[in-house]
Chains A and B, each alone.
Chain A
Amino acid sequence: MALSDVPIELVARCQRGDQKAFEELVARIGPELYAMIYAHVRDHDDADEILQECLIRLYKHLPSLRDVMKFSSWVSRMAVNQCHSQCLRRSRKAMESTDDQIEWAERDVMWQKPDMGNPRKELMRREVREEINQAIRELPPRQRSVVVLFEVEGRSIREIAEMLDCSVGAVKFNLHQARKKLKLALREYVRQRPSERPAAEAEAEAL
């Protein structure tokens, strides 16, 4: 279920404080929201934490959303801003001191098996993947957001500028910088054509 396909009535019910409706809403948008956050932060722990924060905010501030039609852009904007937020480190420290440990154990059981349906795409070797994720994590927050929004989510430069509240020029500049850094860091994976990427895929096949 895509963010934009959420029925307006459901959002309206959530706005009135209907808890059941909220649970239904989360069941619908949760996976996509999670994937979106993961694409930005490339870390399951961080994604989990940001998603929690996002949902709390969603529940708290949804009643103040005036135009229900803008729900999808409102949520994605909030998620991106949360990813972007510098407060992450601090809030994480605060959370570690609480019952986070127990949460882990419980949650690990809940993770599903990876989707085995499409091994070529899903099984990029773990190290290759980690290397790519590391390169993305090392980008400054703004560059990271821009490159993920443009390349992965396929948003237009104008849209990104509105979302991040900056100029089109700034988006272009950040995109260029991010590409430059990533190309340098991921040279060996970027150079081959997508169709003939022996290193990554041969290894993936072997796994």
Chain B
Amino acid sequence: MRCAKCRRMYDAAAENRLSARQREKIRNHLSQCPSCALVWQENEGLRTVLCESAKPERVPSAEYFARLARKAVEAAEAERRADSARPRLTVWASLTAWVGTVPRGAFRLAQAAVLLAVGVSAGYFLSNEVRGISSTEVVRPLRLALNPAPTPSPEVREALPSAPPAATPAPEAVIAYAVPAPAAPAAAVEPAGESRPIMKVESAPTPVVDVAAVVAALQKFSEVLDKMKPSEEVERLRQIQRVSQQIQASAVLARLQDLKLQMVRTGQTDYIPDVHRIEEVFHQLASASRDRQASEFLHLDTYQKAEDALIKKRYDEAMRLFKVVIIQAPGSYLAARAMYQRANINFEYYRDFKNAIMDYNQCLTEFPRHFVAEPIQKLIHERVELIAQNSTNDYAPLKLYYKAEATSRPAAAVPLYAALLKQYPQSTLIKPAIDTLVRLARQNADDAALVGQILDAFDQFQDQNPAHPAEMHAQLAIADVTHFCVRNRQQAILEYTKVLDKSRDPELVRIAQERLRSLEKAP
């Protein structure tokens, strides 16, 4: 029997799944192989230690459990009572209150926007609640908003194109509201005179949109929101509401896309079919309108598939699908995002820096207006700079650094970092490499060989690169390793003093001073 197999068998042995023959074989192997015997012995030792320490040293009394049981019943019952006694209709009432004040034409538009916002966010909340994550005061009124009170006010009844299904479950209600309203957003995308209804809404006159009134209506909605207690849900609702103020189909689609992605990422996929159906309506609007930005979203499916593939770590497939999006919808919002994602995959997973820098640069030159969000722009610039500065020898410093980073065994990672320090002293990765080495040394302080290796790497780096910008960084690293790992107090004081004498970086000086102070205080 080989050692690897013998070690693999430990779990099966612990589960008592071995046959007599296998047990015999293992016994023979263990008697001959001291290293395997040690591993088995250590595993057994660990098991004993874990089992012995697992028993709580103090055991709660029966009264404790009795009290806890009563408390649990009280808490659960209180929650149940609160659920049934909560004040109702806050959001719905305020919505209907301003419905009467808004001109009729505008109402449809506002209705579509607000109900879309309410519907989509409610999808969130409801799905949250299904998973038992949260249940706040906002959720219930929203639910009611989706399943309105049996007798809506006359204004509401008049304004609704068809009577809302009073007792349908929430997701259907979302659709019931979102679907009959498309005529209005269509009008928003196109000038009012040219508008044509995309979906036939029976006996609905071509609406005349009063944008100012819609904005005022939404304003009122946001005032209601402001009065609510701040919470995560209200904040999300606010975000959606902000987006829905721009009634362009493209904006709504972009937001829906984000929502869908978020839902996929958080695993709340129950409501995705509903979002898809809302999306379809807006797709129809987009394809019929002359809004070029909106027609981009016709390639949403492909993009969505690509994102799904990315989430499932099927990078090749994601790359291919992103490429399809770029080719099919050139110059679009989706193409920009696809390009950005391709660059990210190249950088983060393939470590193909040559293509990554090309893609990132393309993002900046071809889609200047799409990357206005500051964090993304900053990230792109940082990565482009990082790649450009470490391009020597076919991006060798970058490859070396990331290879070291991906190596889990410290003993294997340290030589890689050391090689980086030795071969590419001009790289911008020197400082992070030094920091990582210090961290590794501190984590493995009792591995003298490893610590020695790390110190040697620092010494060599200092010798070979006098007056290097990171010289003092390395000096501080040496001092830290001497202090925390070698635990040579005198030597550590000496090393820290060197930093104090030579460094001009106030941050380094501050750290050195702090460490010296603590060293002097210690006995």
A binding-site residues for B, Cβ under 8 Å? 19, 22-23, 25-27, 30-31, 34-35, 38-39, 42, 44, 47-48, 51-52, 55-60, 107, 110-112, 114-115, 121-122, 124, 129, 132-133, 136, 147-148, 150-152, 156-157, 172, 175, 179, 182-183, 186, 189-194
Contacts and interface: CB of A to CB of B under 8 A. Distances in A.
Interface stretch (B72-80, B190-198, B382-390, B476-484): B72-80
Contact of A172 (B11, B73, B75, B132): B11
Given A22-B73, A52-B68, A189 B41 contact: no
Interface stretch (B52-60, B398-406, B454-462): B52-60
A192 B41 CA distance: 8
A56 B69 contact: no
Given A30-B68, A38-B54, A44-B58, A194 B73 contact: no
A47 B44 contact: no
B46 interface: yes
B69 A55 contact: yes
Contact of B66 (A23, A34, A107, A111): A23
A47 B60 CA distance: 11
B129 to A, nearest CB: 13
Contact of B58 (A27, A112, A133): A112
Given A110-B61, A133-B53, A26 B41 contact: no
Given A147-B50, A151-B51, A23 B69 contact: yes
Interface in B51-103: 51-66, 68-73, 75-76, 79
Contacts of A112: 58-61
B45 interface: yes
Contact of B60 (A34, A60, A122): A34
A179 B13 CA distance: 16
Contacts of A133: 53
B72 A44 contact: no
Contacts of A23: 66, 69-70, 73
Contacts of A152: 50-51, 54
25 contacts: A23-B66, A30-B64, A30-B65, A30-B69, A34-B56, A38-B54, A47-B56, A55-B68, A56-B75, A58-B72, A110-B61, A110-B64, A111-B60, A112-B60, A124-B52, A132-B50, A150-B14, A152-B50, A157-B11, A172-B11, A189-B45, A189-B49, A190-B42, A191-B41, A192-B45
Given A182-B50, A193-B45, 6 more contacts: A22-B69, A26-B66, A34-B60, A111-B58, A150-B11, A151-B50
Give the interface residue-count category, chain B: 35 or more
B76 A60 contact: yes
A26 B68 contact: yes
B354 interface: no
A interface: dominant SS: helix
A75 to B, nearest CB: 13
A54 B31 CA distance: 47
A56 B74 CA distance: 9
Interface string B114-144: 0000000000000000001000000000000
Given A59-B76, A190-B42, A111 B61 contact: yes
Nearest to B39: A183
B47 interface: yes
Interface centre among A57, A133, A151 (most CB of B within 10 A): A151
Contacts of B132: 57
Nearest to B55: A35
B447 to A, nearest CB: 10
Contacts of A38: 54-56
Contacts of A190: 42, 45-46, 49
B246 interface: no
Contacts of B62: 27
B48 interface: yes
A106 B66 CA distance: 14
Given A55-B69, A56-B72, A182 B58 contact: no
A84 B72 CA distance: 21
* Pairs A-B, 10 closest by C-beta atoms: A30-B65, A26-B69, A55-B72, A39-B54, A190-B45, A194-B48, A38-B56, A132-B53, A23-B69, A152-B54
A56, A58, A192, most chain B CB atoms within 10 A = A56
A175 B69 contact: no
